């Protein structure tokens, strides 16, 4: 029987194996410096941190351990956002609290030390972040561990960091809202038919249609993010049409990474709720 940590690793593997996922690495599409094999290695490397989360380690510490382990491959940042979502979900599942209110409680319990570890995790891999918005009253995550003194002086918990980041970041919104999109997508995965990789791809497409991807907005601007959302809506659940769109997005280096992060979370919840692969 798989444990929550096992299911989290399987969710990471199924997320990258889901094909096609327009703009993202999948079994048929890669970037020159970011390949399918890097995601497989990252999934394995994150295992110790996921098992730490399962064993009730502090969220920030478990997350940093996940990212450090993930980093031991040549592709760089493969699953930073996925792991940010999965760590509290794993801990919630291990403590029989895998529900929107349960995982929200896990996130609310985070501490100042968790926030410091979260910032420290940015030192392990390059993460695509833009200059902080003028209204975001937080230390720049690109400072990494150098931000720890300010975090401690201000008494910022990881929950508060996510709460302040939520207007600008899709993963932070999931954290503070109890992962509503992830839980809803998990139900769709359970109700879907076909192979696991087809279900993963369709889950990705549906999530991409719901909201503009915040990583695309960071890298290419909000107008491009809305265009990506509209083009995904035109494709719908048609995986053949999605494959053509995937080629276009890869060529344009449009990578809806936040949507991939939410897909991994949804696949984990589906696995925990009895999805048989």
The answer to the question of residue 51 being in a domain is yes
Q: How many domains does the chain have?
A: 1
User: For the chain, what percent of residues have pLDDT higher than 90?
Assistant: 96
The answer to the question of residue 66 being in a domain is yes
Shortest CA distance to 263 belongs to which of 18, 4, 9?
18
* List of residues 6+ apart from 146 with CB closer than 8 A: none
How many residues can be counted in the chain? 277
Provide the CATH number for the domain around residue 253.
Answer: 1.10.4200.10
What confidence tens digit (pLDDT) does each residue in 62-103 have?
999 999 999 999 999 999 999 999 999 999 999 999 999 999
Write a three-state SS string for 76-143: CCCCHHHHHHHHHHHHHHHCCCCCHHHHHHHHHCCCHHHHHHHHHHCCCCCCCCCCCCCCCCCCCHHH
At 134 the pLDDT is 80
Q: Which domain holds residue 243?
A: 4-272
Tally of CB atoms within 10 A around 224: 16
The answer to the question of residue 244 being in a domain is yes
The answer to the question of residue 277 being in a domain is no
The answer to the question of residue 188 being in a domain is yes
What confidence tens digit (pLDDT) does each residue in 124-151 have?
999 988 888 888 899 999 999 999 999 9
């Amino acid at each position: 029987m798989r444990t929550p940590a096992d299911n989290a690793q399987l969710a990471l593997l199924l997320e990258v194996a889901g094909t096609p996922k327009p703009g993202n690495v999948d079994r048929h599409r890669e970037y020159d410096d970011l390949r399918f094999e890097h995601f497989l290695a990252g999934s394995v490397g994150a295992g110790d941190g996921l098992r730490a989360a399962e064993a009730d380690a502090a969220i920030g510490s478990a997350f940093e351990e996940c990212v450090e382990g993930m980093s031991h491959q040549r592709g760089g940042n493969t699953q930073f956002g996925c792991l940010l979502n999965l760590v509290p979900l794993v801990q919630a599942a291990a403590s029989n609290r895998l529900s929107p209110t349960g995982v929200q409680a896990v996130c609310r319990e985070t501490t100042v030390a968790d926030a410091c570890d979260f910032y420290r995790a940015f030192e392990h891999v390059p993460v695509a972040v833009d200059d902080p918005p003028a209204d975001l009253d937080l230390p720049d995550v690109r400072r990494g561990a150098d931000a720890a003194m300010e975090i401690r002086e201000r008494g910022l918990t990881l929950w508060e960091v996510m709460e302040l980041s939520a207007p600008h970041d899709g993963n932070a919104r999931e954290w503070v809202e109890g992962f509503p999109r992830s839980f809803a997508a998990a139900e769709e995965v359970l109700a879907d038919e076909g192979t696991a990789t087809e279900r993963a791809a369709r889950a990705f497409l549906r999530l991409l249609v719901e909201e503009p991807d915040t990583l695309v907005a960071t890298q290419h601007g909000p107008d491009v993010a809305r265009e990506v959302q509209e083009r995904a809506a035109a494709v719908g659940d048609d995986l053949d049409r999605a494959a053509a769109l995937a080629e276009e997005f890869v060529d344009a280096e449009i990578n809806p990474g936040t949507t991939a992060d939410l897909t991994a979370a949804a696949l984990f919840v589906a696995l925990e709720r009895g999805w048989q692969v």
